Amino acid sequence: MSGIDTVLCDLDGVVWLAHQPIPGSVDAIAALRRSGRRVLFVTNNSFALLADHEAALAGIGVPAAGDVVSSSMAAASLVESGERVLVAGGPGVAEALQTRGVDTVLNTGQPVDAPIDAVVVGMHREFDYDRLAVAADVVRRGARLVGTNSDSTYPTPNGLLPGGGALLAAIASASGATPVVAGKPEQPMADLVSSMVDGVAGPSTPRMLMIGDRPETDGLFARRLGCRFALVRSGVTPAGSPSPHSAELRVDADVADLAEVARRLVHPEREAQ
């Protein structure tokens, strides 16, 4: 774990559960920053506005202006300015697309007649049969299907709830299309993170550490970036379950929570003892 100067930190299941901070996480982030390391928050949460992500972090004592990277931002990189996009997602998706210069149409469940270039899907609680039917119809008529992420669930203090990936799977099944996914662990998110860290999109170096609770998302994202991966057991992956370390997935640290990762980074001499 030596040589790490940039920490990529998932939010749900690592920093908080439904915006309730996981014990020790706020102090851990502060300790990482005091040690001179940059901390970026890399989340597949596509629903929230960027300012809402930053405000929620500030509300628990974590300044985060300019340090949040969301799957909505990654999805927006897959469409071009001037294209017409059906938004099957929350306000964060619409914001990212509009920042990109895209003409957005909100999926309300009413028929859409005008040509649509792409359907972008993210988590939204208004999803219902009519919205599913409209999105699938638009895709069958030739629109590209883009998912902000493929996470089937997300963790809360009361257990797992369906995630944006579950909604994407429904639209993909009903339309017969194969979606392009933007968020972790896919390349669009990797390019976005690399451009924020290094100024250019492309392969990174082992000096970054990805901290996450979902091996198939955060762990594979670290592999794509070519960086280290710390698995925490405070979210989707429960304590006591087998280690996912394998030939395909390297786990550099398998620990209880973010506080333990920070301790190992900031005070490595204690590991030697």
Active-site residue 12, yes or no? yes
Q: Is 129 exposed, middle or buried (0-12, 13-18, 19+ CB in 10 A)?
A: exposed
Contacts of the segment 242-245: beta carbons below 8 A, 24+ positions apart:
244/215, 244/219
CA distance 32 to 40: 11
**Which DSSP letter does residue 243 get?**
P
Residue (of 225, 229, 191, 187) closest to 205 by Cα position: 225
Count CB-CB contacts under 10 A for residue 29: 26
Radius of gyration of the chain (CA): 19
Considering 12, 67, 151, 218, which one is annotated as catalytic? 12
Query: Which is nearest to 150 in space by CA: 168, 165, 163?
Result: 165
Bridge partners, 230 (sequence order): 211, 253
Active-site residue set: 10, 12
